[in-house]
A and B are shown apart, each in its own frame.
Chain A
Amino acid sequence: MIIIQAILLMGVLGVGFSVFLGFANKRFHVETNPKVDEVEEVLPAVNCGGCGYPSCAAYAEAVAENGEDIDLCVVGGAETTTMIAHVMGVEVAGEDKEKLVAVVFCQGDSEAAGFPGEYHGILDCAAAVYSQDVAKRCKYGCLGLGSCVNACPFDAIHLSETGIPYVDAEKCTACGKCVTACPRDLIELHPVTHEAFVYCKSQDPGAIARKVCKKACIACKICVKAAAADDNPEAVTMNGNLAVVNTENYTAKAEYGQKCPTDAYSSRKNSVNYESFVKDKPKEKAPAGESTKE
Chain B
Amino acid sequence: MVKTSFPKGVHPPEEKDRTSNIPITDLPLPEKILIPLSQHLGKPAKATKGRGDTVTVGERIGEADGFISAHVHSPVSGKIKKLVQLPLPGGRMGEYMEIEVDKEATEAFSFPEKEFDLENATQETVAQALKEAGIVGMGGATFPANVKFTPPKGKTLDSLIINGAECEPYLTCDHRMMLEHAAEIMAAIRILHKAYAFEQILVGIEENKSDAAQALKEEADKYQDLPIQVITTKVKYPQGAEKMLIQALTGRIVPMGKLPLEVGAVVSNVQTVYAMYEAFYREKPLIERVLTVTGDGIAEPKNIRAPLGTPIAKLYEFCGGMKSEPRKMIAGGPMMGIALPTIDYSVMKGSSGYLLFDRPSVPEEGPCIMCGRCVQACPMNLVPLRIAALAKAEQYADAKEYDATSCVECGACAYGCPAKIRLVAWIRYAKNFINIRGL
A133 touches B92 (CB 8 A): yes
Bound Cα distance from A1 to B426, whole angstroms = 67
Assess whether A122 is in contact with B426, with CB atoms less than 8 Å apart: yes
Q: How far is the CA of A91 from the CA of B428 in the complex (A)?
A: 53
Q: Contact: A139 with B92, CB < 8 Å?
A: yes
Contact A116 B391 (CB under 8 A): no
**Could you say which residues of chain A place their CB within 8 Å of the CB of B433?**
126, 130
Cα–Cα, bound, A42→B422 (Å):
44
Say yes or no: is A132 at the interface (Cβ < 8 Å to chain B).
yes
Contacts of A132 in B (CB 8 A): 90-91, 338, 425, 428
Task: Say yes or no: is A29 at the interface (Cβ < 8 Å to chain B).
Answer: no
A126: chain B residues at CB < 8 Å are 429, 433
Q: Of all chain B residues, which has the CB nearest A207?
A: B85
- A134 CB–B CB distance under 8 Å: yes
Contact with A along B89-123 (1 / 0, CB 8 A): 01111000000000000000000000000000000
Q: A132-B425, A133-B92 are in contact. List 17 more A-B contacts (CB 8 A).
A: A115-B341, A117-B339, A117-B341, A120-B360, A122-B426, A122-B429, A126-B429, A126-B433, A130-B429, A130-B432, A130-B436, A131-B426, A131-B429, A132-B91, A133-B90, A133-B91, A135-B87
B395-432, CB < 8 A from A? 422, 425-426, 428-429, 432
- In the bound complex, how far is the Cα of B85 from the Cα of A107, in angstroms? 22
Cβ of A208 under 8 Å from chain B: yes
Instruction: Sample 20 A-B pairs with CB under 8 A, ordered by A number.
Output: A116-B342, A117-B340, A120-B339, A120-B360, A121-B422, A122-B422, A122-B426, A126-B433, A127-B425, A127-B429, A130-B433, A130-B436, A131-B428, A131-B429, A133-B91, A133-B92, A135-B87, A135-B91, A135-B92, A139-B91
> Is B2 engaged at the interface, CB distance under 8 Å to the other chain?
no
8 Å CB contacts to A: which residues of B298-314?
none
Q: Report A-chain residues with C-beta under 8 Å of the C-beta of B341.
A: 115-118
Where chain A touches its partner, the secondary structure class is loop
A131 and B362 within 8 A (CB) = no
CA of A121 to CA of B340 in the docked complex: distance in angstroms?
12
The contact size tier of chain A is: 10 to 19
Instruction: Give the distance to chain B from A228, nearest Cβ to Cβ, in Å.
Output: 31
Q: Which of B85, B360, B429 contacts A208 (CB 8 A)?
A: B85
A-B CB contacts (within 8 Å), total count: 53
Contact (A139, B93) CB under 8 Å given A116-B341, A116-B342, A131-B432? yes
User: When the two chains form their complex, are residues B91 and A131 in contact, meaning their CB atoms are under 8 A apart?
Assistant: no
Contacts A121-B422, A130-B436, A133-B92 given; does A116 touch B87 at CB 8 Å: yes
Taking CB atoms and an 8 Å cut-off, the chain B residues in 331-369 that contact chain A are 338-342, 360, 362
Q: Which residue of B lies closest to A122 (CB)?
A: B425
CB distance from B145 to the nearest CB of A (A): 25
Taking CB atoms, residues of chain A closer than 8 Å to B432 are: 130-131
Interface string of A134-176 (1 = CB under 8 A from B): 1101010000000000000000000000000000000000000
The complex places the Cα of A137 from the Cα of B86 at a distance, in Å, of 9
> Across the interface, do A131 and B92 meet the contact criterion of CB distance under 8 Å?
no
A179 to chain B, nearest CB (A): 16
Docked Cα-Cα span, A127 to B399, in Å, equals: 14
User: How long is the Cα–Cα vector from A137 to B92 in the complex, in angstroms?
Assistant: 10
Interface residue ranges of B118-148 to A (CB < 8 Å): none
Among A117, A127, A204, contact of B342 (Cβ-Cβ < 8 Å): A117
For the complex, give the distance between the alpha carbons of A209 and B87 in Å.
13
Bound complex: CA A135 to CA B432 (Å): 16
Q: Which 9 A-B pairs have the closest CB atoms?
A: A117-B341, A133-B91, A120-B362, A131-B429, A116-B341, A130-B432, A131-B428, A127-B429, A131-B425
Tell whether, in the assembled complex, residue B422 and residue A130 are in contact, meaning their CB atoms are under 8 Å apart.
no
**How near does chain B come to A182, taking the closest CB pair, in angstroms?**
14
Closest chain A residue to B422, Cβ basis: A122
Residues from chain A with Cβ under 8 Å of B422 in the complex: 121-122
User: Which of chain A's residues have a CB closer than 8 A to the CB of B429?
Assistant: 122, 126-127, 130-131
Minimal Cβ-Cβ distance residue in B for A115: B341
Could you tell me if A130 and B428 are in contact, using CB atoms closer than 8 angstroms?
A: yes
Are the C-beta atoms of A134 and B91 separated by less than 8 Å? yes
Q: When each residue 74-88 of chain B gets 1 if its CB lies under 8 Å from chain A and 0 otherwise, what string results?
A: 000000000001010
Nearest-CB distance from B316 to chain A (Å)?
Answer: 16
Question: Closest Cβ of chain B: how far from A122's Cβ, in Å?
Answer: 5
Q: Which residues of A contact B428 (CB under 8 A)?
A: 130-132
Q: Contacts A115-B341, A133-B92, A139-B93 given; indicate if A121 touches B425 (C-beta within 8 A).
A: yes
Contacts of A133 in B (CB 8 A): 90-92
Closest A residue to B391 by beta carbon equals: A127
**B425 neighbours in A (Cβ, 8 Å):** 121-122, 127, 131-132
Give bound CA distance, A236 to B120, whole Å.
66
Q: Tell me the nearest residue of chain B to A204, going by C-beta.
A: B85
Which residue on A lies nearest to B93, using beta carbons? Answer: A139
Which chain B residue shows the least CB distance to A121? Answer: B425
Taking CB atoms, residues of chain B closer than 8 Å to A115 are 341
Q: A208 to B82, alpha carbons, bound, how many Å?
A: 14
Residue of A nearest to B425 (CB): A131
Q: In the complex, A286 Cα to B27 Cα: how many Å?
A: 64
When distances are taken between beta carbons in the complex, the residues of chain B under 8 Å from A122 are 422, 425-426, 429
